[in-house]
Amino acid sequence: MIPIFRFAPSPTGLLHLGHALSATCVWRAADEAGGRVLLRIEDIDPVRAKPEFTAAIEEDLAWLGFRWEGEAVRQSARMSLYRAALDRLTAMDLTYKCSLTRSEHAAGVAKAEARDGKRGRAIPTARRACRSKSSASWVVRRQRGCAWRRR
């Protein structure tokens, strides 16, 4: 089986030195493993992702000598696949509704990991915290403009 590597920049700006370093690492690893590289454009932030940045990133990568297999995959074109996967996970009760921000969620996970000394096992704690919120709490957070999402 041929290993598959991917490089996945977000087109929210021009390619920078950090991207070039990451790309170099990806293509070098693929070369050493006899693998192939796919380019995945993380264009799911409709406010910041711009088509002109996508074009510039592809042009800069080509200028640097990086070649990827096939057309670049745009995440925005795959949203129906992600929705279907999320629906399957939700039907299996493997997701939970959460109104915490990413930073609140990360802080809760870090606190639970520090308390328990078990890295990666704090997600059920965060899940319980979100599930235990009263419906009144949900209403207040929604009124303040807090969106909920499935985790």
Q: What is the pLDDT of residue 136?
A: 58
Band of the pLDDT at 146, cuts 50, 70, 90?
Answer: low
Ranking 5-9, 39-43, 147-151 by mean pLDDT, the lowest is 147-151
Using pLDDT thresholds of 50, 70 and 90, give the confidence band for residue 100.
Answer: confident
**Considering only CA atoms, which of 83, 91, 76 is closest in space to residue 40?**
76
> Which pLDDT belongs to residue 24?
96
More confident residue, 138 or 92: 92
Q: Where are the alpha helices (DSSP H) in 40-101?
A: 51-63, 79-91
Over 70: is that where the pLDDT of 131 sits?
no
pTM of the model: 0.66
Asked whether 28 and 7 are in contact (CB, 8 A), the reply is no
pLDDT at res. 135: 54
pLDDT of residue 108: 76
Instruction: Quote helix, strand, coil % in the chain, to nearest 5.
Output: 55, 10, 35
Residue 21: both structure tokens together: 């370093």
How many angstroms separate the CA atoms of 20 and 83, rounded? Answer: 32
pLDDT digits (tens, 9 = 90+) for 28-37: 999 999 999 9
